[in-house]
Every structure is written in structure tokens, then in C-alpha cells.
Amino acid sequence: MLNVRSGRALLSGLLLAAGIAATSPDAFAQPDARYVSHAGPCSRTSACLQNDWFDVSLRFYDPGADVWKSAGFAEVDVGHESALIYFFSATNLEMLVKVLDGNEVNGRFWVFAAAATDLGFQLKVRDTETGWTNEYHNPPGNRPLAVTDTYAFVHDGRQPPADPDPDPDPDPDPDPGPEPDGPDLVVSSVSVTDASLDLDQEFTFYATVANGGGRPSASTTLRYYSSGDATIDRSDRLVSSDTVVALPALDTSTKAIRLIAPSSAGTFYLGACVDPVVGESKTENNCSTGVRVDVSAPSPPSLTGTWSGTMTSNVLGTGTINATIRQSGNSLDGSVQFSYPGQPSISASLLGEVTGNAFSILMRPAQPGLCDTRATGTFGSNRVHGQWNVVDCTVDQHGTFDLTRQ
């Protein structure tokens, strides 16, 4: 029987050599998955440890080929408790796996592993007589964590391994269920920063992709669509696309894209579809529903208020103008006062109408004998400008005006 103390010391040294502390709080204390697979001898592509009691196999993610591959085992004599694993070359070892007999300590077999790679992998350790299997995962691109599972398999009785911290009301006859399915990608949620937009307004669209399956997914493409209804499919108008990295089982990835609202008012829906990956059998759920977005033209500002500025004349030069205007719907009324250097001030009432941000005003002086004036122009929130001319008058007078809100 293995000397447990010396076995753990050897593992600690190899873990430290791989840059991982054996006592790391991030180490796996429990497997990522535990289920009944099948009983039977070790396969040709695996390693047999503890005198053929346990079958050890490993698949790794090759980012260059974008596929998962079976790893190889170094043909060196390291005893019946350990295996050395390589991915691409037998001269480039990637991982150490040990199955230790800890019966004298807690009646269990222990699984320890240390990896010197950041590639994704799926390590399986299977009891060849019962079929009970433990899986340990590392997502692609992540720092590998040490496996220190000292409750991996019950030593005697061929019983399913129990949790070291069991549920207070455990199922007396647990059903391990089937082996996990492949990846299952869904666009689980979509949202926008603002669902009520002005014309040509910038906004951000968010989409979350989830892998609801039992296996990691390869990297894939997320496509953004615009639709006239809430049902999003690949026949809708393609807006843009993005890359989704490989996702471990039950993991998510949220993507964001900056968009610009249309130049015309209306309602549309935004959604996303994620492309299927190898091993995914359920693809009818790869598209989201649409999130509604309303686009409207901004309401024109009101002319109601006090305004002042300059008024030019082809006869009198440049003068000043002050106006008080009231707007009710499309109708205008109010008063105006303007003056030119060396000339008396003129007061007038005004009446007019607004169409959008354009206006037409008739100014009628209070002093008798003076001609009426017609003014037209446009306005914004804080500025009014346009041109004017006298009407029904023997003298041709005209000019421009430019006012700001007071």
C-alpha cells in the first residue's frame, strides 16, 4: 500500500513545479460532475491506475484546430498510482494525475492532479467495476487549478462516493442520471440602454450567451438582428456580429455593441442568434426573442418666453429688438419692441402661427401711420432668427433679425 504521507509530499513538489500550490484555496475539492458511466476494463486511450481499478482519460481543447482531442500518456514507469499526460508531444508533458489509496485515513481513494497548461481539459476518472465516474474541468484560457479530491471514491463496498459535507436530508437511493449531454448554447437575455430613442441617437445593445449543456462549447459567432416583430430568426436583417469564446458547461458570456437609431421614427426589435457548435444537438433555442425599441422625432421647442437680439434694416441700419411671445398649440401672440439709433422706439402687437420649428408672424405697430411688418424664420430651444419686410407700405423696407432666449 502507498505511504500516504510520502505520496502527498511528492504531489506537493510536482504541484509547486507546475506553479500551483497544493494547498491553494482554488483547488478542486470536489469533481465538476459525478455520474455512472459504464463498468468494464480500461480503454486503449486511457491509463489504468491502482492495478486496473481506475480508468483515467483526458480530452483537451486545441485552439488552433478549434476541436477537442484525446490526450496521450507517457510510456514511463511511474508506478501503478500515477500517470503523466501529454497533449501534442510525448516530450512535452502537460499534467500529472494520481489515484492514491487513502483507506487508512478516511476509507477513500484520493484523486490528485496538477497541470502545467492553460488549455481547456476534461479529466475523467472511472471505477472500472461500478462505472462511477468523476470529472474535473478546466475552461480554455483559464489558469489550471490543482485537483485535491480526498473523497473521490469509497474504498470498500463498491458504493457511490458520498459528499464529505452531505445534505441534511439525503436521497436514500440517489439516481446519478445519464451522462451529461453535449453543449447547449442559448441567447439567454437581451437588453438595451434606452428603449425610447430620438432619431440617430446612439445606444448600446447587450446579449448574454449561456451554455446550458453538460459539456464545454467551442468558440462560435454571435449575430445581431433587427426585426419588425419580437420573433428573431436568421431571415431578419443582419446588423453585426461578434465572437463568443469557448464556454464551460453552465457558464455565460455577455457581449455589447454600440448602435445608432434610424433616421426615421418607428418601432423595431433587436435580438441575437448564436451559431451552433460541434456536439450541439439542440439548436432550435439558439435565437433570442426581440427587445422592443421605439424611435421618435423630438418634439419641437416652444416659442413661449422672452427674447432679445438685433434687427437689421436696409434703410435704418442695425437696431435692437425685444419680444414677449406666448405659444398655444400652433398659435402665437404677444408683443414686440424695436428701435434704431436716432429713432424713437416702436411697440407692436404680434400674431402668428408655428409649423414644426418654423413660424410666420404679423407685427402691427401701436403708433398710427406705421406699416405692418411680416416676419418669418425658424427657432430652436434658445435662438430665433429669420427675415422681415413691411407690408402695404410705400417704402420698401426689409432686413433680418436674430434673437436669443432671456
Helix (H) or strand (E) holding 11: helix 4-17
Alpha carbon distance 210, 208 (integer Å): 6
| Positive/negative CA dihedral, 284, 289, 290, 291 | negative
Residue range 324-339, pLDDT digits in tens: 999 999 999 999 999 9
**Domain end point (choices 113, 136, 154):** 154
Q: Are residues 89 and 220 in the same domain?
A: no
Instruction: Give CA torsion, residues 101, 104, 107, 110, to 10 deg.
Output: -30
By percentage, how much of the chain surpasses pLDDT 90?
A: 53
Asked if residue 9 has pLDDT above 50, the reply is: no
Is residue 132 included in any domain, yes or no? yes
Q: What average pLDDT does range 311-319 have in this prediction?
A: 94
Give the domain-ending residue among 296, 326, 341: 296
Give per-residue burial for 342-376: e unless 16+ CB within 10 Å, then b.
eeeebebebebebeeeebebbbebeeeeeeebbbe
Asked whether residue 368 is assigned to any structural domain, the reply reads: yes
C-alpha 211/C-alpha 137 separation (Å) is: 15
* Number of domains present in the structure of the chain: 3
Same domain, 290 and 333: no
The strand pair at 196-198 and 291-296 is best described as parallel
| pLDDT over 60 at 273, yes or no | yes
pLDDT of residue 289: 94
* Res. 158: pLDDT tops 60: no
At 182-209, the pLDDT tens digits run 899 999 899 999 999 988 899 999 999 9
Same domain? 14 vs 148: yes
- Does 386 reside within a domain? yes
Regarding whether 138 and 189 lie in a shared domain, the answer is no
H or E element in which residue 8 lies: helix 4-17
- Residue 391 maps to which CATH number? 2.40.128.120
Q: What percent of the chain has pLDDT over 70?
A: 85
Structure-model confidence comparison of residues 400 and 129, the more confident one: 400
Examine the pLDDT at 159 and tell me if it is beyond 80: no
Per-residue model confidence (pLDDT) at position 42: 83
User: Would you say residue 180 lies in a domain?
Assistant: no
Residue 136, CA distances (Å) to 15, 32, 49, 53, 109 in order: 16, 5, 17, 19, 16
For residue 85, pLDDT over 60 is answered with yes
Question: In terms of domains, do 290 and 257 share one?
Answer: yes
Please report, for the domain that includes residue 240, its CATH number.
2.60.40.10
Name the amino acid, one letter, at 366: A
Among 113, 138, 154, the domain boundary falls at 154
3-state SS record for 160-208: CCCCCCCCCCCCCCCCCCCCCCCCCEEEEEEEECCCEEECCCEEEEEEE
Asked if 143 and 56 sit in the same domain, the reply is: yes
**Where is average pLDDT lowest: 18-27, 39-48, 210-219, 275-284?**
18-27
3-state DSSP assignment of residue 289: strand
Does residue 360 share a domain with residue 290?
A: no
- In this structure, are 288 and 349 located in the same domain? no
Q: Which helix (H) or strand (E) holds 294?
A: strand 291-296
Give me the pLDDT at residue 127, please. 87
Question: 9-13, 159-163, 204-208, 229-233: lowest mean pLDDT where?
Answer: 9-13
Look at residue 155 in the predicted model and tell me its pLDDT.
73
CA–CA separation, 18 vs 314, rounded Å?
A: 89
Residue 211, all three cell numbers: 451554455
In a domain, 103, yes or no: yes
The answer on 338 and 273 residing in a single domain is no
Average pLDDT over residues 117-133: 87
For the stretch 213-241, pLDDT in tens is 888 899 999 999 999 999 999 999 999 99
Q: Are residues 117 and 9 in the same domain?
A: yes
* Residue range(s) defining the domain that contains residue 264: 185-296
C-alpha cell at 9: 509530499
Does residue 126 share a domain with residue 16?
yes
Does residue 211 lie in a domain region? yes
**Are residues 280 and 243 both part of a single domain?**
yes
Residue 157 pLDDT > 60: no
Distances (CA, A) of 292 to 207, 226, 259, 275, 311: 14, 10, 14, 23, 48
**What's the pLDDT score for residue 240?**
94
The answer, yes or no, to whether residue 12 has pLDDT greater than 60, is: no
Q: Which of 7-16, 122-131, 207-216, 275-284 has the lowest mean pLDDT?
A: 7-16
Q: What distance lies between CA 315 and its chain's CA centroid?
A: 65
What is the pLDDT, as a whole number, of residue 250?
Answer: 83
At residue 29 the predicted structure's pLDDT band, cuts being 50, 70 and 90, is: low
In a domain, 178, yes or no: no
What cell was used for 307?
A: 427674447
Question: Is residue 145 assigned to a domain?
Answer: yes
